[in-house]
């Protein structure tokens, strides 16, 4: 199984806290060409009644709600959930400072512990590709949604951040002795190219809203921090001295590229609405 869908790895390493996710969010917030905040754009697409029961799967550090704190309808009863206890604790810290009705629950999307037809709205942003049994998770989401309820699920496309994968394959993978495979961004189980077909197994109507953007990176350190956050290199590379040497060489290579101008990084991102 790919580590992207390995729940033990995701909870125990990749998402045991918000540090890795923050490194990735930082790169996007600092170097995106589209200055519209992605989380606020996502909120703009949501159509839901002013009085609604809302479930977010994979809430992480509640970044979506923090970025939209003043826009949350007072009539929404919101359950923030995550598979990771560490992430849910981060969400609680954020949620306690926001004026909204939040509940918190550890949830595996494959077995959602709520009754049928309980929610008006389910949000699952950039998380469905982490679920081992995707069809089961989508069936569970359909089950807990009320008739007329909606699922909103953001994900990436096949070419998303492909330049980072190319850099890993060229500058890191050949030089590092790793017991585990490097995590690349391509090949997600739920992506823009197949999301509609996947969701149509449970939902009659599926719409895709693309988000037009790319990165223009002007500093080496955030680029490398993103790669480091994906792969937890300190835990998968045995020779730490070699790792330090290779990362320094990678920084030199990036600095040389940056002398020619910003590094262009493709972004392929969008939001599915299913109902």
- The CATH number covering residue 86 comes to 3.40.50.150
Band of pLDDT at residue 27, cut at 50, 70 and 90: very high
The answer to whether 149 and 121 have CB atoms below 8 angstroms apart is yes
For the segment 96-109, what is each residue's pLDDT rounded down to a tens digit? 999 888 999 999 99
* 29: helix, strand or coil: helix
| Residue 230, in any domain of the structure | no
The answer to whether 105 and 81 have CB atoms below 8 angstroms apart is yes
| Residue 167, in any domain of the structure | no
Q: Say whether pLDDT at 230 is over 80.
A: no
State pTM to two decimals: 0.90
* 120: helix, strand or coil: strand
Max intra-chain CA distance, the chain: 58
Strand extents, DSSP E, 137-213: 145-156, 206-211
Q: How many residues does the chain have?
A: 275
Band of pLDDT at residue 15, cut at 50, 70 and 90: confident
Band of pLDDT at residue 192, cut at 50, 70 and 90: very high
Number of domain units in the chain: 1
What pLDDT was estimated at residue 145? 99
Question: What's the rounded Cα separation, in Å, for the pair 25 and 36?
Answer: 14
What pLDDT was estimated at residue 234? 57
Strand partners, 145: 119
| Residue 195, in any domain of the structure | yes
For the segment 211-228, what is each residue's pLDDT rounded down to a tens digit? 999 999 999 999 999 988
Q: Domain residues for 204?
A: 3-161+185-217+266-274
Question: What's the rounded Cα separation, in Å, for the pair 134 and 248?
Answer: 39
For the segment 120-163, what is each residue's pLDDT rounded down to a tens digit? 999 999 999 999 999 999 999 999 999 999 999 999 999 999 99
Using alpha carbons only, give the angle 55, 57, 60 rounded to the nearest 5 degrees.
120
List C-alpha distances in Å: 10 to 5, 38, 121, 129, 232: 8, 24, 25, 12, 11
């Amino acid at each position: 199984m790919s580590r992207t869908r390995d729940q033990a790895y995701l909870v125990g390493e990749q998402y045991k806290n918000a540090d890795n996710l923050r490194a990735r969010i930082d790169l996007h917030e600092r170097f995106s060409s589209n200055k519209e905040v992605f989380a606020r754009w996502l909120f703009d697409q949501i159509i839901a009644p002013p009085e609604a029961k809302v479930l977010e799967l994979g809430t992480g550090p509640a970044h979506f709600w923090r970025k939209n704190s003043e826009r949350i309808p007072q009539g929404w009863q919101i359950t923030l959930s995550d598979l990771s206890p560490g992430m849910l604790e981060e969400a609680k810290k954020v949620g306690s400072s926001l004026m909204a009705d939040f509940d918190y629950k550890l949830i595996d999307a494959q077995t959602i512990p709520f009754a049928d037809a309980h929610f008006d709205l389910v949000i699952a942003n950039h998380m469905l590709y982490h679920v081992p049994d995707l069809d089961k998770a989508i069936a569970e989401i359909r089950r807990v949604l009320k008739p007329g309820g909606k699922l909103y699920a953001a994900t990436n496309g096949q070419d998303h951040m492909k330049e980072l994968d190319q850099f890993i394959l060229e500058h890191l993978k050949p030089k590092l002795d790793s017991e585990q495979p490097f995590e690349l961004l391509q090949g997600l189980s739920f992506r823009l190219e197949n999301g509609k077909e996947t969701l149509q197994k449970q939902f009659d109507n599926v719409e895709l809203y693309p988000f037009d953007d790319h990165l223009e990176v002007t500093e080496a350190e955030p680029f490398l921090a993103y790669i480091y956050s994906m792969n937890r290199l300190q835990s998968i590379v045995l020779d730490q001295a070699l790792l330090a040497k290779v990362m320094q060489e990678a920084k030199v290579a990036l600095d040389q590229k940056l002398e020619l101008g910003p590094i262009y990084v493709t972004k392929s991102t969008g939001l599915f609405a299913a109902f």
